C-alpha cells in the first residue's frame, strides 16, 4: 500500500482544476470509525481519521491505533490515523509511540518563536522514531471549539502571513502547514466566514509544502474546491459530524423509544455521520 505521504502528493499533483484533497474526519467512538471507513470504501478514496487529545483520552490512544492498523492490514483500504491538535510534547510522544501515521503539534496560542521551537522539537522526535510519519505544524489561531458559535472567536480572524509561514516551515522541518486563512473551528450561526483564497494561494506558493484546512465544517463547496485548487491537500471536518451524530441518535431514540440494544439505536447515528462523510469526500475528490 502507498504511504500517506504518497497519497498527499498524488492529490496535489494534478493539473489546475484537477487537484484533490484527502478528507480528515474526527471521531470519538466506533460509530464514527465505521462511518468514516465505510464511506471511504464506498467511494474508493483514501481517508484520514483524526482524534484530538480529548477524543484520544475517550477512545484510547493505543486502542484506536490498533483498530486502525488491524482494519487497514486486513482490508487493504487506505485508512490513516492522525493525532489531531496535540498541545504538548508529551502528547506528541504518546501518539508517536502508539504508532500513529500522522501527528499535529498545535502551538497557535504561543508566540511565533515559541511555536517554532516546540514544533521543531516535536517534529524531530517524531521523525527520529518513525522517519515516514507525516508531521504537521499550525500557525495562526482559529479558535479551539467544535461547537455551534454565536460569533467568530476573538483573535481568530488574523491571517497567517506568507513571511510567517515561510519562516515557520523552514525552521521546523514540518511536512504540512495549517495556516489561518479565514477558517474557524466550529460552525458560526448565520453562515461561515468566506475563506481567503488569495491568502491560500500565496502561502502555498511561498512555503512549497502542502497546506491543511482546519475548521472546514460549514464552509461552502465552492470555497473548499477553490482552496484545494490553490494548495490545500487535506480538509478537516469535525463539527458537522458531531451535529449529524446527535441528530441521528435523537431521531433513532424518538422512533424507537423502547429499544435497549445500543447496536440498534446507534445505527441511526452512524448512518447520519456516514452520509456527511460521503458528501464531503465527493467534494474533496471532485466526484
Residues known to be catalytic = 84
CA gap 45, 12 in Å, rounded: 14
| Cα–Cα distance, 98 to 264 (Å, whole number) | 32
To the nearest 10°, the Cα dihedral for 227, 189, 142, 106?
-100
Q: What CA–CA distance (Å, rounded) separates 65 from 101?
A: 9
210 contacts: CB under 8 Å, gap ≥ 6? 8, 9, 12, 175, 176, 177, 231, 232, 233, 234
Residue with cell 478537516: 236
- Report which of 165, 199, 169, 168 is spatially closest to residue 182, judged by C-alpha positions: 199
Centroid of chain to Cα 259? 34
Map 48-75 to HEC letters: EEEECHHHHHHHCHHHHHHHHHHHHHHH
Q: Which residue has the cell 465505521?
A: 34
Task: Phi first, then psi: give them for residue 49, nearest 5 degrees.
Answer: -95, 130
Amino acid at each position: 500500500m502507498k504511504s500517506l505521504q504518497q497519497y498527499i502528493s498524488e492529490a496535489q499533483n494534478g493539473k489546475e482544476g484537477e487537484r484533490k484533497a484527502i478528507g480528515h474526519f474526527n471521531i470519538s467512538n466506533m460509530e464514527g470509525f465505521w462511518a468514516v471507513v465505510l464511506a471511504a470504501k464506498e467511494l474508493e478514496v483514501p481517508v484520514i481519521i483524526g482524534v484530538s487529545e480529548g477524543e484520544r483520552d475517550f477512545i484510547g490512544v493505543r486502542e484506536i491505533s490498533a483498530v486502525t492498523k488491524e482494519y487497514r492490514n486486513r482490508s487493504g483500504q487506505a485508512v490513516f490515523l492522525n493525532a489531531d491538535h496535540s498541545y504538548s510534547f508529551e502528547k506528541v510522544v504518546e501518539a508517536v509511540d502508539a504508532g500513529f501515521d500522522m501527528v499535529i503539534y498545535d502551538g497557535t496560542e504561543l508566540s511565533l518563536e515559541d511555536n517554532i521551537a516546540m514544533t521543531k522539537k516535536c517534529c524531530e522526535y517524531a521523525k527520529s522514531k518513525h522517519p515516514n510519519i507525516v508531521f504537521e505544524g499550525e500557525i495562526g489561531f482559529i479558535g479551539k471549539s467544535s461547537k455551534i458559535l454565536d460569533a467568530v472567536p476573538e483573535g481568530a480572524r488574523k491571517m497567517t502571513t506568507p513571511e510567517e509561514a515561510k519562516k515557520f516551515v523552514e525552521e521546523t522541518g514540518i511536512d504540512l502547514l495549517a495556516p489561518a486563512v479565514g477558517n474557524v473551528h466550529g460552525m458560526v450561526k448565520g453562515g461561515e466566514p468566506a475563506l481567503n483564497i488569495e491568502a491560500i494561494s500565496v502561502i502555498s506558493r511561498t512555503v512549497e509544502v502542502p497546506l491543511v484546512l482546519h475548521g472546514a465544517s460549514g464552509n461552502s463547496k465552492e470555497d473548499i474546491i477553490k482552496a484545494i485548487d490553490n494548495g490545500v491537500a487535506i480538509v478537516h471536518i469535525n463539527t458537522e459530524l458531531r451535529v449529524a451524530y446527535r441528530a441521528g441518535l435523537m431521531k433513532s431514540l424518538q422512533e424507537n423509544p423502547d429499544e435497549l440494544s445500543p447496536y440498534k439505536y446507534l445505527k441511526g447515528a452512524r448512518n447520519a455521520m456516514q452520509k456527511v462523510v460521503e458528501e464531503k469526500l465527493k467534494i474533496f475528490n471532485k466526484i
